[in-house]
Each structure stands twice: as C-alpha cells, then as structure tokens.
Amino acid sequence: MHKTENKKKRICICTTVSTTISAFILDTCKYFHENTDWDISLICSYNKEFEKSLPAYIHYYPVDMKRGISADGIKVIREMKKIFKREKFDLVQYSTPNASLYASIAAKSAKIPVRLYCQWGMVFVAFSGVKRKIFFREEKFVCDKSTWIEPDSNSNLAFARSLNLYSADKSSVIWNGSACGINLNKFDINRKDDYKKEIRKRYGISNDAFVYIFVGRVKRDKGFNELLEAYYTQVKKPNTYLFVLGDNELGAGLSNELYNKSVSDENVFYTGEVPDVEKYLAASDCYILPSYREGFGMSVIEAQAMGVPVIVTDIPGPTDGMVEGETGLVVPKQDVPALRAAMEKLYSDSEMRLRFGRAGYEFVKNNFAQSKFFEYLLKDRKRLLDMEDDKIGESR
C-alpha cells in the first residue's frame, strides 16, 4: 500500500448562511490553521460584514442560497460544482439542509474524494404524512451522496442508523457530540455574578426575580407555542420574566395570539441574536428548549456551563447534552402540562436549581470542553483524508 505524495490538503466547508459558520465553524478553522498547513475555504450566501470579518488565511466563495424550498437549486449546484472542480478540494464538508443538498450533489459530480455530511439536525423529524416522506427521502439522498456522515449527537446517530439512513461503517460522532464543543473562556462561570448584575440592571430586573430563558429561532418546531402557553398558564408568579434570544421566524403554525401577547408583555424580552449570550444565561434561573427536533442543541451545554439548570424535550440531541434528574429535567415534546410542571418545579425548588447548576457545570467541563473537542476533531479529519490517500494509493 502506497500513499500519495505529501501535499497541502485543501478543505472546503459549506453552509446555507454565514451565521452558522460564525457560530459553529470559525473557531474550528482557526484551530486547523494553527495546527496544520491545510488550505481552508468557506462557501455560504454572501454577507458583506461576514466577509470583512474573515482572517486572511480563509478563502471565501459566496454562493447565494435561500432557506426553505427554492427554485434556485440547480443554479446553486452548477456554481458549486464549478468551484469544486476548479479548486480541487480534498474534502468538502456541508451542513444545514439546503447547503447539504446542493453541496452533496455538486461534490459528487466534481469527484471530490471526501464528502463529509455534518448532520446537525434532520428536518423530516418535525413533519408528518407526505411532507415527512419527502424530506426523509431528501435526507437519505444526501447521506447516499456522502462518503462519511457525522451527526452531532450519539442519540441522533443511533436514530438515523435505525432508519437505515446510513450504515455504521460510514458514520461516527466526534467525542461526546456537539458541533464545536464549548469555549469555557467565553462561557466563564467565574464571571457569572458580574454578568447577572449587568444584564438585570440593563433590563430593570430585580435580583430576587425569577428569569426563564429560551435561546433559538422563534418558530413552531422549536416548541415556542408550548413555551409561551406553559409560561402563561403556570400558576402565575409575580416577578417572573422570560428572555427570548434568537431571530423571529414567524411562519406557519406559530400562535399569533400567544406571540402578540408576549410581545406586549413588559416581562418578556425579545432580544434577537446577541453576541454575549453567556451574559443572558448567567442572568437567568432556568433554561428551556422545548424543541421538536435538534441535532444537538448547543445552547443546552452553554446554559449548563454558566451553572443554569435546563429543561429539554425527550428528543435525540438535547438529551445527550444533559443528565436527566442531575443537571435538568426532561419532558415529552408538545406536552404543555408536563412543561409547565417542570417550570414550576424549578421555580419553587431553589435547592434543586443550585444542585442542578453545579452538576451541569461539571458535566459540561468534563465532556464538552472545546479545547479537548478540537483534538478529537482534528484527529478525525486527518483520518478521513488518510483513508482517501490509502484508497488512491491502492488503486495505483
């Protein structure tokens, strides 16, 4: 067996929009740059500010893509294929639904040797009937086009394998899961008290108030209807607040009545996306993710890193990032009474909140620290590239 001659590896990472790269990928690129001689490229929809923010060692090839169903798919695939063939990448990585569909087709057509699907969530899980079947087939199609698949949680890995989306010999999870691990310098629990004072002062929230927090896009399949209904139907406590951190995607299925009520509520704060989510988490008493589907749910471990107990639904992904009964509570998805009961339990039991918070921090520190995660990630990428070198060598 002979390996190909040693040359600088060229990798390309594709997502639909730049916010995904900023949140989950840029730190990975920096780590690769500091620890390898790899040439690194990015593809996503064009964003001027994002382009300006990129370091000089990253090549940026903007390709406009839209979220959701789009008639521009064929054009995008052709544009990607042109880039892939010209740049001759050794590995193309893709995540998020549209970018994964387009890049998997283009990379296969351009004969990219390593086509890595980072399966950070499966859209079909949130649907039923014909719509579920259509999106399941699309998911299966992307998996078939890929040479390796990496979900970001072990429960989603097991779930996808059980549905025969892919086999055990072409799939794995990095370390204990997540897309990028957690930066414990940013999510620094030693600054929790200072952050709490800063945020509560900014919003006029007293120190003895109780604050719930949700981090994610405001949409139906994030369980936002259930969150608001549970918040408004719990035994109403005085001095209770709700932070909502994330973009508003007010699509079909979201309750206008509940949403409009919350918007006019002086105790509910819609902040949009914020660069300092760690400060808002530190200012909160309970984190809630009532989602219908997730790849992993990074905000679950972010909350615990700041010593905040969590409530999640019993779906693959978020349950991998916490320990039921030790760092938080698990409730059935789309079950408002169960969610309400969990919210009230953490509201009324300060000793449980303190115990869960301490355990959550230790759990995250020991299982998801970014510095350790990146070591496993780099080892995995080298393995994939070496596997392809071996195949090429054997064919000679």
- Cα 384 to its chain centre, rounded Å, is 22
Instruction: Tell me the C-alpha distance between 160 and 30, whole Å.
Output: 30
Structure tokens at 121: 């969530």
Residue 363 CB neighbour total at 10 angstroms:
21
Calpha distance 232→343 (Å, rounded):
11
| pLDDT given at position 235 | 58
Residue 283: partners with Cβ closer than 8 Å, 6 or more residues away: 195, 196, 198, 199, 200, 205, 211, 243
Q: pLDDT tens digits for 274-285?
A: 999 999 999 999
What pLDDT does 68 receive? 67
pTM of the predicted protein model: 0.92
Residues of the chain with pLDDT under 70: 1-6, 68-69, 235-236, 389-396
- Residue 126 has a pLDDT of 85
Contacts of 381 by beta carbon, 8 Å cutoff, 6+ apart: 11, 32, 91
Could you read off the pLDDT of 100-140 as tens digits, one per residue? 999 999 999 999 999 999 999 999 998 899 999 999 999 99
CATH of the domain spanning 189-367, picked from 3.40.50.150, 3.40.50.2000, 3.30.420.40, 3.20.20.220 = 3.40.50.2000
Domain boundaries, the chain: 10-181+370-395, 189-367
| Contacts with 58 (C-beta within 8 Å, 6 or more apart), sequence order | 29, 33, 40, 41, 42
Domains 10-181+370-395 and 189-367 share a fold: yes
325: left (phi over 0), alpha (psi -120 to 50) or beta: left
For 10-181+370-395, give the CATH class: alpha beta
